[in-house]
Structures are given as structure tokens and as C-alpha cells.
């Protein structure tokens, strides 16, 4: 099992949404999505885990690595709607990662107005697509 992803840019903010299970077999795909995010947005990145069914310890470590990569580029990572177990693998090598209960709460923390600028998603993304915003990959 792997993951599907959708990345939406907003004014000075990005939202990377994941669906599926973030396990060892999905870490490479997740890393690719993070590199996509780094190349196409600015500002903080909210990792929306609303559609994620779960994550392994390796998947959690990949999130910590993503936080380090984003920080190295002057951006931060925040989590929204973490899986039910509510835990992250302890790792003191990554910057603090704010955790929000859900995506609307995370967006509200940034006083986000809701306007999307651009959207990209993997072919099998299960959620809705903004057809007015081009970028399906």
C-alpha cells in the first residue's frame, strides 16, 4: 500500500494532504511529494493527515526528515489531523512540529482566507479536486 497526495498553494502557505498509509513502502513517494512542495511553494507547509489511515515508525521518521528539509529551506512544517494513535517517534534532531487538531484549525492559525492559488495531486487522489485550479499530475 502506498500514499496519494495533493498539494495546494495558498498565499504564503502550502497544504500537502496525504491519503492511504505512510509506511516503509510509501516513504519514497512521500519524499518526492516533499521535494515537489519545496519547488513550488513558499511559507509554512501544513501536512494534512485527515485522509491518512495510519503511519509506521518509518513513516513518522520521514515526516521528521521532511521537517528538517523544509527548515533548511527557510520553511516550517505543521501537522493537521494526525492519525488516531496521536504519536510521533521521538526525534530530537528535527525542529518542533506544531500539531493542530484538524485542517481548518491549522489554517485559522495562519489567518488563512481560503483562497487557493494552485493545486497538484497524484492520479489516484481520493478526495475532491478543484477543477478551477489546474495542476493534476
Q: Is residue 109 part of a domain?
A: yes
| Whole-prediction pTM | 0.86
Query: Are the CB atoms for 81 and 50 separated by under 8 Å?
Result: yes
Does residue 16 lie within any of the structural domains? yes
Residue 62: CATH number of its domain: 3.30.750.24
- By residue range, what is the domain housing residue 60? 3-121
Domain count, the chain: 1
Which percentage of the chain shows pLDDT scores above 70?
82
Q: How far is CA 113 from the centre of its chain?
A: 19
Give me 125's grid cell.
487522489
Instruction: Tell me the per-residue pLDDT of 4-63, one tens digit each, with 9 for 90 and over.
Output: 999 998 888 999 999 999 999 999 999 999 999 999 888 999 999 999 999 998 999 999
Amino acid at each position: 500500500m502506498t500514499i496519494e497526495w495533493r498539494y495546494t498553494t495558498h498565499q504564503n502557505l502550502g497544504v500537502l494532504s496525504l491519503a492511504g498509509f505512510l509506511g516503509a513502502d510509501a516513504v519514497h513517494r512521500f519524499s518526492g511529494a516533499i521535494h515537489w512542495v519545496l519547488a513550488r511553494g513558499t511559507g509554512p507547509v501544513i501536512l494534512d493527515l485527515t485522509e491518512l489511515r495510519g503511519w509506521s515508525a518509518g513513516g513518522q521518521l520521514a515526516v521528521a526528515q521532511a521537517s528538517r528539509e523544509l527548515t533548511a529551506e527557510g520553511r516550517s512544517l505543521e501537522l493537521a489531523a494526525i492519525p488516531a494513535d496521536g504519536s510521533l517517534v521521538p526525534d530530537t534532531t528535527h525542529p518542533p512540529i506544531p500539531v493542530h487538531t484538524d485542517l481548518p484549525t491549522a489554517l485559522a492559525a495562519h489567518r488563512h482566507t481560503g483562497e487557493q492559488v494552485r493545486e497538484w495531486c497524484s492520479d489516484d487522489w481520493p478526495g475532491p479536486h478543484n477543477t478551477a485550479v489546474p495542476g493534476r499530475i
